[in-house]
Structure 1
Amino acid sequence: MQNYLQSVKLFFKRFLVVLFVYQICRFLFYFFNRNAFESISFKGFLGGIHFDLSAIAYINLIFAVMHLLPGNFKYRPNYQKGLKIAFFTVNLIFILTNFVDFEYYKFTGRRSTFGMITATGMENEIGGLLFSFLVEFWYLPLLAIVLAFLFWKAIPNLKMVTETSSSKLQSLKQSGLFLLFLATVFVIGRGGFQKKPLKIVDAVNYGSINQSAIVLNTPFCILKTIGKKETLESPKFYSEKELNTIFNPITVTKTSGKPTKKNVVILILESFGRENLQCGQTPFLDSLIEKSMFFENGFANGKLSIDAVPSTLSSVPSLMNNSLITSSYAINEVYGLPKIMKDNGYQTSFFHGAFNGSQNFDQYCKVAGFDAYYGKDQYEGPESFDGRWGIFDEEFLQYFSRKLSQFKQPFFTTLFTISSHNPYIIPEKYKGKFPKGNTKIQESIAYSDFALKRFFETASKQDWYKNTLFVIVADHTSSEPKQAKFKTNVGKFRIPILFFDPSNPTLVGKNSKNLQQIDVMPSILEYLNIDAKMVTFGKSYQSDKDFVVYYLDNIYHYISGDFYLAFDGKKSLGLYNFKNDELLKNNLLKTNPAKAAEMERFIKAYVQSFNERIIKNELTLKK
C-alpha cells in the first residue's frame, strides 16, 4: 500500500511540475507580447492557472491511469522508465505549442487553435516558411531546448519502500483510491463542478476583454478545437418577425440611373494596417488618398488574410472561431460580387501571387463564382519568386496589369498582395532603398507601396484605366503596432479603405463614416448603379447606417456611431465612446444603460441572423 501511495504522490508531483512550466510559458508569452497589452492584472495570471489545470488534466488522464491503476506491475524499472519518457514527451509537445504564440500572437491577436497550428490552407508554403521562421526566431528553438532539459530534470522518480505482500483489503483500498483520484483529475479537466465544462470564452471572467490571451494557454485552445468542425447554433433571441425588424440582411440596391459598366479592380493589401499610413512608409498610397474617397474609420472584419476575402467579396463577416473558407460551411452557396458582376456582363478574375491553393483561395474562388484564378503557377514574367510565399508584388502587379489589358471590358477583378507578409522579404536589388520604419514590417510595407505606384503608372497608360473604379482595402492590421490606440480591440481592426475613380473628381474627400470590409460589395453595386437583391451583412457607404461588426477571442465587437460594445454572446462586457476614449479606459456600461441596451439588441439580432443563415445555407435568395 505504501508503494501505491508513493505512485499517487509521484503523479501529482509530476502534475505540479507541469503546472509550474505552464506558468513559465505564460510569463514568456507576456514578455514576447508585452507591447500588445497596455495593462495586465494579477487576476488574469491567477485565472490562467484555472485553464492550465484543465489542459494539464485532460492531457494527463492516460498518465493518471498508468500511475494510479492498482497492481505491482507499476513498480518494475522498465515500466517506470517508459512511463517517465512518455510523460515527458507528450507534455513537452503540448508545452511547446505555447512557443508558437510567443510570436504568432502578434499577427492573429488570439491564441492558436488546432486549425491554425496545423496550418490549414497553407500546405504548400509551410516547408519554406518553417525554415524561414526558425531562422528569424532562432531564440525560440534554443529556449525550447533549455526548457525541455530543465523539465526533464525536474520530473521526479518513484521512491519505493520495502513492504509486505498485499492483501485483498489493500487491493480494494487501491481500487477505491484509483477511482477517486481519476475522478478528481477528470473534474479538474472540465474546470470544476459547474454545469458546462470550461470553455475558451470563459477567459473573460478573469480580466478585461483585452487580456483573454494572457489567461488562456495554447494547449487548452488546441484541445477545445481539435478534431472539431465548428457548428453554429441559433441563439434564438427573437422570433423571425421581430428579428427582421431589428436587422435584415436582405438588401436591394437603390440605383439612380443606368449601370455605368465601369471596370472594377479591388486591391487587397497584405497587413496594411491603418498605423502604417501617413508616417513616411507609404508615400504613394498617401498621395492617392488625396485623390480618393478615403474612410478614416475603416475596419477589417477579421484578423487573418483568409477572413478578408469572403468579407470583402461576398459581404460575409468572420464571426466564427474558424474562417469561413476552412470551416464546415466552406461550400455554402454565396451570391457575392463575382456572381453578381458576372450576371451583369462582367468578366471576373482573382489574382494572388502565392502558391496555388494558398489560404484555400482557389477553392473559395470556385464557390464564389470567379471565371478564373491566377496564382504563382500562372505567372508569366521575370523570375521573381521570393523563396517563401510566391511572386514579389512589383512583378506580379505588372503581370496583373498586362492581363487586364487582355480582358474584355467590363471586367471585375481582385488582387491580393503578398510581400508585406512575414518574413517581410523584399527583392535584393531594393535592399537599403526603403525606410526601415519603426516595426519589422514597415520596410516591406514601403516596398509594396512602391509596387503599387509602379502598377498605377503602368495602368494609367492603358485604355481601360479611366473607365475603372479602384477599391483599395487591407486584409487586416499589422503586428506589433507602436501606438497605444492601435492595441485596443478597436485599434486592432483599423485598416485603410478607399475608393478611387480617375474619371470622377467628385469621389474625393475624407469620410468619417464607420466602414468595414463587408461594406465594399453593396458600396460598389450602388456606385455602379447595378440592380441587385442579395444577402449582405454590410451596408453601402451611401447608407445612413453606421455600424461595424467583427469577432475575436469569442467576443462580438460592435461599433455604432461613436460607440463600441463588447458582447460575449449572452451579455455585454463593456461600452465605450471609442472616438473620445481611444484607449477604452472609461467603461460606460453602468452609466449609459440605455445605449448599451440599444446596441445589445442590435448585435443579438445580427448574430442570430448570421448564425441561422450560415446553418441553413441561406446566403443566397431563391429566384
Structure 2
Amino acid sequence: MQNYFQSVKLFFKRFTLVLFLYQVCRILFYLFNSSNFNAITFKSIIGGLHFDLSAIAYINLLFALFHFIPGNFKYKPSYQKVLKVTFYTVNLIFLLTNFVDFEYYKFTGRRSTFGMITASGMENEIKTLIFSFLSEFWYLPIIAILLSFLFWKSIPTLKIISIQNNTKIQILKQFGFFLLFMGVIFLFGRGGFQKKPLRIVDSVSYGSINQSAFVLNTPFSILKTIGKKETLEAPNFYSEKELNTIFNPVLEINPKGEPTKKNVAIIILESFGRENIQRGQTPFLDSLLTKSLFFENGFANGKLSIDAVPSTLSSIPSLMNHSLITSSYAINNVYGLPKILKDNGYNTSFFHGAFNGSQNFDQYCNVAGFDNYFGKDEYVGPESFDGTWGVFDEDFFQFYCSKMNEFKEPFFTTIFSISSHNPYTIPEKYKGKFPKGTTKIQESIAYTDYALKLFFESAKKQDWYKNTIFVLTADHTSSEATEKKFETNVGKFRVPIAFFNPGDKNFGGISYRNMQQIDIMPSILDLLNIKTKMITFGKPYKSEKDFVVYYLDNIYHYIDGDYYMAFDGKKAIGLYHFKKDELLKTNLLNSNKEIRTKMERFIKAYIQSFNTRLIDNKLVL
C-alpha cells in the first residue's frame, strides 16, 4: 500500500506544481494588462483558483487514472518515464496557451477560445502572422522557454520503497481509493456540486464588471469551446405581446419623397478607434469629419473585425462569445443592405485587401447577398503585398476607386482597410514620413489616413462622386488606449461614425446622440428614401431612441441617453452616468432605482428578441 500512496502523492504533487504555474501565468497576464482591470479583489483570486482547478483536473483526468489505478506495473521505470514526459508535454502545451492572451487580450478584451487559438477564418495569413508576432513579442518566447525549463526541473519523481505482491484485501482497498480519488479529480473538473458544471459565464460572479478575464484562464476557455458551435438560450422574460411593446426589431420605412438613387460607399477603417483620431495622426479624416454628419458618441458593436461586418451591413450586433460569422447561426437568412439595395436596383460589392477567405468575409458576403467580392486575388495594380495581410491600403484604395468607375449606378460598395492591423506595416518608401504617435499603431493609422486622402482625391474627379453618400467608421478600437477614459467598458468601444454627402453642402454637423454600427443600415435606407420593412436591432439616426448595445466577456453593455448599464444576462451589476463619470467610478445601481428598472426592462427584452430570432432563424420577415 505504501507504493500505491506514493503514486497518489506523486500525482497531487505534480497537480499542485501545475496549479502554482497557473498562478504565475495569472500574475503575468495581469502585469501585461493591468490597465484593463480595476483593483483586483481577494474574491477574484479565489475565483481564479476555482477555474484553475477545473481546467487542470480536466486536462489531467487521464494522468490521474494512470497514477491511481491499482497494479505493480505503475512502478516500472519505463512506465514512470513515459508518464512524466507525457504529463509535462500535455500540461506545458495548455499552460503556454495563457501566453497568447498576455498580448492578444489587448485586442479582443476576452480570453481566447478554441476558435481564436486555431485562427479560424485566418488560415491563409497564419504562417506569416506567427513569425510576425514572434518577432514583435520576442520576450514572450523567452519567458515561455524559462517557464518550460523550470517546470521540467521541478516535476517530482516516484520514490519506490520495495515492490511486493498485494493481497486481495489490499487490492480491494486500492480500488476503493482509486474510485475516491478519481471522484475528487472529477469534482474539481466539474467545479463543485452545483447543478451545472463550471462555465465561462460563471466567472462574472467572482469580481467587478471587467475582471472575468482575470478570473478565467485560457486553457479553461479552450476546453469549454472545443468542437462547439455557440448555441443561444432563449430567455422568457416577457410574453410575445409584452416583448414587442418594449422592443420590436421590425422597422418599416415609409418615406414621403421618391428614392434618391444615390450611390453608397461604406468605408470601414481597421482599428480607427475614437482614441486614434483628432490627435494629429489623421489630418485628412479630421478635415472630412468637419464636412460630415459626425456622431461624437459613436460605438462599435464588437471588439473584433469579424464582428463589424454583420453589425454594419446587416444591423446584427455581436451578442455572443463567438462572432456571428463563425457561429452556428452564420448561415441564417439575413435581409441586410446588400439584398435590400439589390432589390432596389443597386449593384453591390465588397472589398477587402487581405487574402481571400480572411475572416470568413467572403462567406458572409455570399450569405448577405453581395454581387461581387474583391480580395487580394482580384487586386490589379502595382506589386503591393505587405508581407502579412495583403495589399497596402494606398494601392487597394486606388484599385477600389477604379472598380467603382466600372459599376453601373446606383451602386453600393463596402471597403475594409487592412494596413493599421498588427504588425502595422507601412510601405518602405513612407518610413519616417508620418508621425510615430504615442502607441505602436499610430504610424500606420497616419498612413491609412494618407491612403484615404489619395482615394478621395481620385474619387473627386469621377462622375459618380457627388451622387455618392460615404459612410466612415472603424471596425473596433485598437489594443492600446491613449487615455484612461478609453480603457473603460464604454471607452473601449468608442469609434468614429460619420456620413459624408459631397452632393449636399447643407448636410453635416455634429450630433451628440448615441450612434452604433447597427444604426448605419437603417440610417442609410432612411437617407435614400427607400420604402422597406426589415429586421434591425439598431435604429435610424433620426430616431428618438438613444440606445447602444454591445457584448464582451459574458456581459451585456447597454447605453441609453447619459447612462451605461452592465448586465450579466439576469440582473444589472453596474449603472453609471458615463457622460459625467467617464472613468465609471460611481456605481448608481442602488441609488437610482428608477433608471435601473427602466434599463433592465429594455435590455431583457432586447436579449430575448435577439436570441429568439437567431435561434428560430427569423432575421427576415
**Partner residue, 1:617:** 617
Matches within 5 A, 1:388-399: 388-399=388-399
Query: d(CA) in 2 for partners of 1:41 and 1:435?
Result: 40
- Partner residue, 1:532: 532
- Aligned AA for 1:437? G
Residue of structure 2 in register with 1:431 after alignment:
431
Equivalent residue, structure 2, for 1:559? 559
Counterparts of 1:175 and 1:21, CA distance in 2: 31
| Amino acid corresponding to residue 183 of structure 1 in structure 2 | G
Which residue type is aligned with residue 351 of structure 1? Answer: F
Shift of 1:159: 0.9
State the distance in 2 between where 1:484 and 1:190 align. Answer: 38
Give the CA deviation at 1:482: 2.5
CA deviation vs aligned residue, 1:438-491 (integer Å, no higher than 9, x gap): 111000000000000000011011110000000001000001103111111111
Find the counterpart in structure 2 of residue 117 from structure 1. 117
**Is contact 1:38–1:484 with CA below 8 Å preserved after alignment?**
no
Cα distance in 1 for partners of 2:570, 2:382 equals 55
Q: Quote the residue 1:152 is aligned against.
A: 152
Indicate the residue corresponding to 1:227 in structure 2.
227
Amino acid in structure 1 at the alignment position of 2:276: N
Q: Take 1:385 and 1:21, find their aligned partners in 2: how far apart are those partners?
A: 41
Equivalent-residue separation in structure 2 for 1:534 and 1:430 (angstroms): 45
Match of 1:56 in 2: 56
Aligned length: 621
SS at match of 1:209: coil
Alignment partners' CA distance in 1, 2:122 and 2:270: 16
2:239 is the counterpart of 1:239: yes
Q: Deviations over 1:474-514 (max 9, x none)?
A: 00000110311111111111000000001112221110010
Structure 1 CA distance for aligned equivalents of residues 363 and 139 of structure 2 = 37
**1:333: Cα distance to partner?**
0.7
Aligned partner of 1:553: which letter? D
Trace 1:329-478 onto structure 2 (pairs within 5 A). Answer: 329-478=329-478
Mapped to 1, the partners of 2:565 and 2:250 lie a distance apart of 24
CA contact (8 A) 1:97 1:219 kept: yes
Query: 1:336 Cα shift?
Result: 0.2
Aligned partner letter, 1:93: I
Amino acid at match of 1:434: F
CA contact (8 A) 1:33 1:106 kept: yes
- CA deviation after TM superposition for structure 1 residue 594, in Å: 1.7
Name the CA distance, whole Å, in 2 between partners of 1:29 and 1:342. Answer: 48
> Corresponding residue for 2:171?
171
Q: Could you say what secondary structure the match of 2:333 adopts?
A: coil
1:140 aligns with 2:168: no
Structure 1 unpaired stretches of 5+: none
Q: Is the 8 A contact 2:48 2:217 kept in 1?
A: yes
Give, in whole Å, the separation in 2 of the partners of 1:163 and 1:108: 54
Whole-angstrom distance in 2 between the partners of 1:331 and 1:50: 37
- The 8 Å contact of residues 474 and 495 in structure 2, kept in 1 or not, is answered as yes
Residue 304 of structure 2 aligns with which residue? 304
Contact 1:199 1:224 in 2 (8 A): yes
| Identity among equivalent pairs (%) | 74
* CA-CA distance at 1:261 after TM superposition: 0.4
Do the aligned partners of 1:473 and 1:495 also contact (CA within 8 Å) in 2? yes
| Residue pair 2:129, 2:388 contacting (<8 A) in 1 also | yes
Q: Distance in 2 between matches of 1:169 and 1:593?
A: 66
Q: Is the 8 A contact 2:72 2:163 kept in 1?
A: no
Shift of 1:248: 0.6
Q: How does 1:473-512 map to 2 (within 5 A)?
A: 473-512=473-512
Aligned with 2:211: secondary structure? Answer: helix
Deviation at 1:163, TM superposition (A): 5.8
Give, in angstroms, the shift of residue 596 of structure 1. Answer: 0.9
Aligned to 1:280: 280
**Structure 1 stretch 288-297 or stretch 32-41: which is displaced more?**
32-41
Aligned equivalent of 1:599: 599
Asked if 1:13 corresponds to 2:8, the answer is: no
Do structure 1's residue 217 and structure 2's residue 217 form an aligned pair? yes
For 1:78 and 1:164, the matched residues in 2 are separated by: 18
Deviations 1:233-271 (A, max 9, x none): 211111111111111101001413111000000000000
Contact 1:36 1:480 in 2 (8 A): no
- Larger displacement relative to structure 2 (581-590 or 29-38): 29-38
Code of the aligned partner of 2:152: W
Local SS of the residue matching 2:413: strand
CA contact (8 A) 2:38 2:211 kept: no
Q: Is the 8 A contact 1:294 1:508 kept in 2?
A: yes
Paired residue for 1:162?
162
Write the distance in 1 (CA, Å) between the matches of 2:600 and 2:195: 25
Task: Give the superposition deviation at 1:44.
Answer: 1.9
Give the equivalent residue in structure 2 for 1:270: 270
Using the size of structure 1 for normalisation, the TM-score is: 0.99
Q: CA deviation at 1:164?
A: 4.4
AA aligned to 1:604 is: K
Which residue type is aligned with residue 238 of structure 1? Y
The Cα of 1:198 is off from its aligned counterpart by 1.2
Structure 2 distance, partners of 1:78, 1:96, is: 27
RMSD (Å), alpha carbons: 0.9
- Give the letter aligned to residue 586 of structure 2: N
CA shift at 1:142, angstroms?
Answer: 1.4
**Aligned residue number for residue 87 of structure 1:** 87
Shift of 1:45: 2.4
Q: Secondary structure of 1:436's partner?
A: coil
Distance 1:506 1:419 in 2: 33
Q: Does 1:208 align with 2:174?
A: no
Match of 1:188 in 2: 188
TM-superposed deviation, 1:380: 0.5
Partner of 2:41: 41
Q: How many Å separate the matches in 1 of 2:550 and 2:414? A: 22
Q: Distance in 2 between matches of 1:376 and 1:613?
A: 35
Structure 1: which amino acid aligns with 2:429?
K
Q: Within 2, Cα distance between the matches of 1:15 and 1:347?
A: 61
For 1:582, the equivalent position in structure 2 comes to 582
Counterpart-to-counterpart distance in 2, 1:205 and 1:323: 24
- d(CA) in 2 for partners of 1:187 and 1:42? 23
Letter in 1 for 2:290: E
> Which is further off, 169-178 or 248-257?
248-257
